[in-house]
Amino acid sequence: MFARIRRLRGNRAIREMVRETILHPWDFIFPVFVMEGTNIKEEIEAMPGNYHYTLDRLHEVMEEVVNSGVKGVLLFGLPGQKDEIASSAFDGNGIVQRAIKKIKEIAPELYVITDVCMCQYTSHGHCGILKGDEVDNDLTLPYIARIALSHAQAGADMVAPSDMMDGRISAIREALDENGFSNIPIMSYSMKYSSAFYGPFREAAHSAPSFGDRKTYQMDPANARQAMMEAEADIDEGADILMVKPALSYLDIIRMSKDRFDVPIAAYNVSGEFSMIKAAAKMGWINEREVVLEMLTSIKRAGADIIITYSALDACKWLKEENHE
């Protein structure tokens, strides 16, 4: 006698009955890039199907998101001006602040999350305040808190700091609580690695550092236990959701954090992961739909409760098709 494990793979019905991981539109958050100007919907070269939108055309993508069944968007802003201290990031009339209000007009039920960082807004492209050539942790904290607060004041449902400064969750939590936003959750980019997979995003967001790299604040890809320290610190400081970023090369980190912590775990399926698939599909080397759904399923199977992905809208369309095939 031996185990006939193939018995439960005999046809589609039984395969579906024993399936452990099922993707659903609610799993996804869709990133959206907003820019200053009028009447622009401009495709991001390395991220086909993703665009920069000016506010007057934002309704086009918001309608698509609502129709897809996805419940949340993650907003990134491209400001008109940059300076040393990222002033446009905490300007009450900044691009993200106005985009939040606009989305709440177009689709009040959509859950609006904002990326809280400085790199798109600083002239030097780093995620904090410089002291000499170094990003100074403690000088940066009040700015990060101020950016998060300005997003909440504009109507954001949740803030997501991606700067990787130590102590930022406390700083943000305090600023939110003191100003009447104790109910606004924080999704922390807790376990954010210094990754080459962010390449296309930095092109898209015009946020590449003008000198040096982000290795003094983002994590070394070689480290797993240090990610658990980051996660623990963020929970202690009041983070509501923890994020692992990128996703595909870090499925072990997703699983470890899921096993250790009881807060929801989000995974960011980043730009480079998206672009690789697009490029290979364009060459005819892989089946985009099957690869994307397999990859998203793997991220969920590894333990992600939430997946931030540029494939969200396509995935929802494909999932619907699969259900009708």
The footprint of ligand PBG (CB under 6 A) covers 115, 117, 119, 127, 162, 198, 201-202, 207, 270-271
Our CB check for ligand PBG shows the closer of 97 and 269 to be: 269
Catalytic residues: 192, 245
Q: Which residue's C-beta sits nearest to ligand PBG?
A: 201
**What is residue 8's three-state secondary structure?**
helix
Q: Do the annotations mark residue 316 as ligand-binding? A: no
Q: Do the annotations mark residue 198 as ligand-binding? A: no
DSSP string of 161-179, one letter each residue: E-S--TTHHHHHHHHHHHT
CB of 86 to ligand PBG, least distance (A): 12
Q: Do the annotations mark residue 214 as ligand-binding? A: yes
Which residues are registered as beta bridge partners of 245?
192
CB of 187 to ligand PBG, least distance (A): 12
Our CB check for ligand PBG shows the closer of 97 and 275 to be: 275
What b-and-e string marks burial along 76-115, b requiring 16 or more CB atoms within 10 Å of the CB?
bbbbeebeebbebbbbeebbbbbbbebbbebbeebebbbb
Question: Distance between CA 106 and CA 141 in Å, rounded?
Answer: 33
Our CB check for ligand PBG shows the closer of 45 and 178 to be: 45
Our CB check for ligand PBG shows the closer of 152 and 308 to be: 308
CB of 122 to ligand PBG, least distance (A): 11
Our CB check for ligand PBG shows the closer of 143 and 201 to be: 201
Cα→Cα distances 170→144, 162, 238, 258, Å: 11, 14, 7, 22
Tell me if the bond preceding 264 is cis, omega within 30° of 0.
Answer: no
Q: Do the annotations mark residue 53 as ligand-binding? A: no
Burial of 2 per CB tally in 10 Å (0-12, 13-18, 19+): exposed
H helices present in the chain, as ranges: 12-17, 58-68, 95-106, 137-154, 168-178, 199-205, 225-237, 251-260, 271-282, 288-301, 312-324
Q: Do the annotations mark residue 127 as ligand-binding? A: yes
Q: Do the annotations mark residue 230 as ligand-binding? A: yes
CB of 271 to ligand PBG, least distance (A): 3
CB of 153 to ligand PBG, least distance (A): 21
Question: Distance between CA 104 and CA 31 in Å, rounded?
Answer: 16
Our CB check for ligand PBG shows the closer of 125 and 293 to be: 125
What type of residue is 280?
Answer: A
Q: Do the annotations mark residue 217 as ligand-binding? A: no
CB of 206 to ligand PBG, least distance (A): 11
Q: Select from 36, 43, 39, 41 the least CA-distant residue to 56.
A: 39
Q: How many helices (H) and strands (E) does the chain have?
A: 11, 12
Q: Do the annotations mark residue 301 as ligand-binding? A: no
Ramachandran region, residue 191 (left: φ > 0; alpha: ψ -120 to 50; beta: rest): beta
Q: Residues at the annotated binding site for 5-aminolevulinate?
A: 202, 214, 271, 310
Annotated binding site: 117, 119, 127, 202, 214, 230, 271, 310
Annotated binding site for Zn(2+): 117, 119, 127
